Structure 1
């Protein structure tokens, strides 16, 4: 019988979690908790964009307006909720938002939150571009954040978590310190690039309101239960291994009031354990991990 040759990558080696060196987060905490928010802008009646009712729906006035609700209303509800609990957040931020919705960027800056590079718009993907085109997209997105906020982003999440074979190399060369596109772990891990090591920071595609409630049509109460169960189990597992819990949000999904109410209850549960957790941003997670677990000589 002929053997099947699997295609592989050389970005990181296999590493079972029980065999890794132990470490802790600041103050001896074992579970880092990150709120990862996606703020996106779309093209009217063209390009890509999800729909509230059908996976294959064309771009319409209705689904454009549904997504626009997030930037006009839902994001502001979410900002207020995060303020109530004193929660920092990271924001995967389309760079064209600086022109379309600058007030959102101003609120992020006032809160002291983290901007994460997230392309120009979620009306496009970067994995269809050649290397020069992708380099230009990364440069444009990075420059827009740096010019408006005064600080270049340290982390990147591609629109639709899409990458080409060169993405990690291009991000490292553009000065990025970490990526969120590889949901392979509950701990950070080092990845190889042609210019040196780049850190992967956990980012949940399961505990994520868009695939959960838009694509799989889960209820808000189901998503609430998922958040609580994921948190409780990870808090238990973190006795053995320091872990990163992330909840991933989109204001045009979670910002609808009945869904926001479910998130409010879930956050209340999490914050009831605040003495046991390290509430952080992905950038803070990356910074601490790089200090306590510097990259090996081969980069991974």
Structure 2
């Protein structure tokens, strides 16, 4: 037997219960907008080009463009298309760009935990330090938003062997870390159940544009094709979740934003046929399904 995480069981796709999203719709779509702040001259960070010795001005400034400019243009587009968002928030953003977080708050967007900063990985921390990091990020969001976040995405989707346990113990109800299904899946933790809601690794601008070097139009075409194929698939009666992961320093660049608008306009134009929501909205609706509808 191979080593196993023991968090969930295998369930063939064809054997899933046939539930529905609100209005009898079968496809739920949500946007995960990553608002991230990075340390200057140290730590982790995506790269536009191979970085040199620290301080790596080229890549630091490229990422900072997202908070200064790109995120505001993305917000404008979301308003134009009447699209909600789940904000995946580094808590360091409260100290660095509080006006940006406030703009999402004013829209009624969901705020989910995304660590302190994407300059670090929680997977390498001792358990007590990881728990303290989760607690620090959670406390900052709770203080500013007036309610604790219910969902979590680890910086760099990095987990230790006890991360799901720590999240459940900290009061989290769902995680976006486990990208193994097109439906939510219950995970076992030492503190009870934690819902894994699908978060994309393909319909995601970092793996696509930074990793595979896809162009802006290619990324937009990817989103449209993913959406169209899912719309075809849900005719089998099985509900799906389509997440779209966005980083303002990437898609907030003008030419990429133009291509993204093309893709999101297609999706927004189908809002009568699909449920456009937030990750938290998916969680809430799953709680209305009968016991055993999710495994």
User: Given that residues 92 and 116 in structure 1 are in contact (C-alpha distance below 8 angstroms), is that contact kept between their aligned partners in structure 2?
Assistant: yes
Say if 2:98 is the partner of 1:98: no
1:156 corresponds in structure 2 to 152
Q: Does 1:283 align with 2:280?
A: yes
1:111 corresponds in structure 2 to 107
Tell me the distance in 1 between the aligned counterparts of 2:278 and 2:103.
16
Counterpart selection for 1:228 from 219, 224, 234:
224
Residues 57-83 of structure 1, C-alpha deviations (whole Å, 9 max, x = no match): 555011100000000000000000000
The 5 Å alignment of 1:58-77 reads 59=54, 60-77=56-73
1:288/1:97 Cα in 2 relative to 1: closer, same or farther (>3 Å)?
same
Structure 1 contact 51–57 (Cα < 8 Å) conserved: no
Please give the per-residue CA displacement for 1:117-137, whole angstroms capped at 9, x wherever unaligned: 000000000000011000000
Aligned equivalent of 2:243, options 238, 243, 246 = 246
State the alpha-carbon separation in 1 of the partners of residues 15 and 292 from structure 2. 17
Q: 2 CA distance for matches of 1:163 and 1:43? A: 21
Per the normalisation by structure 2, the TM-score is: 0.97
Work out the CA distance in 1 between the residues paired with 2:123 and 2:169. 18
Aligned to 1:273: 270
Cα distance in structure 1, aligned partners of 2:16 and 2:227: 22
Work out whether residues 190 and 295 of structure 1, in 8 Å CA contact, stay in contact via their aligned partners in 2: no
* Pair 1:259-2:256 in alignment: yes
Counterpart contact for 1:91–1:115, Cα < 8 Å: yes
The answer on 1:8 being equivalent to 2:1 is no
Structure 1 runs (4+) deviating above 3 angstroms are 56-59, 293-296
Which position in structure 2 is the counterpart of 1:134?
130
8 Å CA contact retained: 2:187, 2:193: yes
- For residue 290 of structure 1, report the CA deviation from its aligned partner: 2.1
CA RMSD of aligned residues (A): 1.3
User: 1:57 and 1:177 mapped to 2: Cα distance?
Assistant: 40
Following superposition, the deviation at residue 294 of structure 1 comes to 3.7
TM-score, structure 1 length as denominator? 0.95
Flag structure 1 segments of 5+ consecutive residues without an equivalent: none
Equivalent residue number for residue 173 of structure 1: 169
* CA pair 163-201 structure 1, distance change in 2 beyond 3 A: same
Question: Which stretch shifts more, 5-14 or 190-199?
Answer: 5-14
Match of 1:188 in 2: 184
126-135 or 263-272, larger mean C-alpha shift:
263-272
- What are the ranges of 5 or more consecutive residues in structure 2 without an aligned counterpart? none
Q: 2: CA distance between counterparts of 1:129 and 1:49? A: 18
Partners of 1:78 and 1:284 lie apart in 2 by: 21
